[in-house]
Structure 1
């Protein structure tokens, strides 16, 4: 059995320690003792972007992604982005970008140099607030993959993203017809109700972690702001 090798560690502001490990040809990011993401289980994070972009009505969408991680969602968003679209990624852990350009450089490729996108060191909630307050343009899609789901918070303060107030602000940061998409490791009926209470039309999908229809079942909510 191949051993895991620790490559780097980083502290999540207000959260636990992230550890980047290699396991043969695969890479895994651990949160404490739990596996947060890995190169073998990327499909649902890619689907978060692909399925969201397929639901957009804007011809040149402005997209906000909460969390870079290993870049699965970002790369998928760029791959399916219509001409003239733009993607902004908010990441709170600076070391994540160092890993992307270091141990994970082969996985990252030329993504970080793509002129259609930008990764900024910021809290996604702050960028949502900027759009609501009018200091930046509103978005056509907001994709959240910053936790293990509404009931799996990995950073103190992220709870506000999933409460009624946070969902209302996310709705107000969207253009009419825009979509808030939220990834989760597990279903959460109470969160579905909160999305509806915040004024969204909600679609819930179950997606496997691996493209061969294997691995854990993950949940993605697509919550649309009325046109």
Structure 2
């Protein structure tokens, strides 16, 4: 078996280090012993974009915010279904992740960052949401393994009642918040409903082949 090779590391705000590893054509991003992303398992990341964009069908000039660049699978899936007049903002907290997208993982990203519909914002997605009012038709969040701050503790504010209220204000009426997680969380479902969202839960496979672990996607209509 081909061994894993450490390609690069990236410090996280508040502590911790991301590690980019490669084995043949496969990539993995690790935080400690947790694998956050793998280039072979991206079915649920694609589903995050597909399910959210389905709810935007027929809207002219949809504005979409993606929190978390990752390995670009959510972005690529959104580009595949979004109309030509869409505007997609991708927010990535860690600058090195953007460097990886344009460097060692360029083939994985397949030029998606150069699509004219895409604007890249390097920084924290939470302030961007907080300063926005009725700015987005959809907000897609994949910045942690679930609705809590695993990668960066300050991400907790995104999933707290105040953060959900700010996200709702950043959406147009009828807009959708889509959140990816590795597992269900009934408390988060209740918080979404308390914040005034109409909530749908979707369990999706991690693999595009319909096998493997099931991940959770919340679709919350404003």
TM range (shorter): over 0.9
TM-score normalised over the length of structure 2 = 0.96
Aligned residue number for residue 146 of structure 2: 149
- Determine helix, strand or coil for the equivalent of 1:131: coil
- Determine helix, strand or coil for the equivalent of 2:206: strand
Answer whether contact 1:15 1:154 (CA < 8 A) is retained. Answer: no
Between the aligned partners of 1:92 and 1:66, the Cα distance in structure 2 is: 9
Aligned residue number for residue 126 of structure 1: 127
Unaligned runs of 5+ in 1: none
1:108-187 mapped onto 2 (5 Å cutoff): 108-132=109-133, 138-151=135-148, 153-187=150-184
Answer whether contact 1:4 1:22 (CA < 8 A) is retained. Answer: yes
TM-score normalised over the length of structure 1 = 0.94
Aligned residue number for residue 107 of structure 2: 106
Aligned residue number for residue 12 of structure 1: 12
1:61-108 alpha-carbon deviations (Å, 9 max, x no partner): 100010001111111111111231110011010011111111101112
Q: 1:183 to 1:15 in 2, by over 3 A?
A: farther
Answer whether contact 2:205 2:212 (CA < 8 A) is retained. Answer: yes
Between the aligned partners of 1:41 and 1:12, the Cα distance in structure 2 is: 23
User: Offset of 1:152 from its aligned partner?
Assistant: 5.5
Q: 1:152 to 1:214 in 2, by over 3 A?
A: farther
Between the aligned partners of 1:102 and 1:37, the Cα distance in structure 2 is: 17
Answer whether contact 2:149 2:155 (CA < 8 A) is retained. Answer: no
Answer whether contact 2:68 2:93 (CA < 8 A) is retained. Answer: yes
Between the aligned partners of 2:56 and 2:192, the Cα distance in structure 1 is: 18
User: Offset of 1:215 from its aligned partner?
Assistant: 1.6
RMSD: 1.2
1:189-215 alpha-carbon deviations (Å, 9 max, x no partner): 010000000000000000000011112
User: Offset of 1:188 from its aligned partner?
Assistant: 0.1
Q: Paired residues, what number?
A: 221
Unaligned runs of 5+ in 2: none
